[in-house]
Amino acid sequence: MLTSFGRFLRELRHQHTELMKDMADKLGVSAAFLSAVETGKKSIPPTWTKSLTDAYKLPPAAVSQMQSAIDASARSVTIDLANQSEERRSAAVALARQFGDLSDDQLASLKQAMLLLKRRGDGK
């Protein structure tokens, strides 16, 4: 079963009338690895956002769509806390510990709050 990112990649290939091998060659990986990423068996390499954007000359709307698909398909998230304050480290760890216990409503509220903070930070 394809992930959201896998569906994005498949559609991108169809738009460019490419085979999986063609896209894999552009990304410098095997077709088997690309297939494993599409199905969520392997993690999405962080360099792929730039590689795909450059290789396919993706417009900003497509890059945004791709990022949403990557976010929806993520298997894990790593937060580098090395240079963060104790308060920030504590908040990140508390979220990680409680994440699995949050209700759908609590997650939706948290996501909305984060989006609102991002918009404020972007000057919107």
pLDDT in tens, 34-74: 999 999 999 999 999 999 999 999 999 999 999 999 999 98
Long-range contacts of 100-107 (CB under 8 A, 24+ apart): none
* Domain boundary assignment for the chain: 4-73, 86-121
CA separation for the pair 19, 9 (Å, rounded): 11
Task: State yes or no: pLDDT of 91 exceeds 70.
Answer: yes
pLDDT of residue 78: 87
Buried b (16+ CB within 10 A) or exposed e, 55-85: ebebeeebeebbeebbeebeeeeeeeeeeee
- Residue 123 binned pLDDT confidence (cut-offs 50, 70, 90): low
pLDDT of residue 104: 96
Q: Which of 10, 74, 9 is nearest to 42 (CA)?
A: 74
Task: State yes or no: pLDDT of 124 exceeds 90.
Answer: no
- Residue 98 binned pLDDT confidence (cut-offs 50, 70, 90): very high
CA separation for the pair 94, 57 (Å, rounded): 40
Domain 4-73, CATH homologous superfamily name and number: lambda repressor-like DNA-binding domains (1.10.260.40)
Report, as an integer, the average pLDDT of 74-85. 91
pLDDT of residue 77: 85
Computed over every residue of the chain, the mean pLDDT equals 94
CA separation for the pair 55, 78 (Å, rounded): 27
pLDDT of residue 76: 84
Q: What is the pTM of this model?
A: 0.75
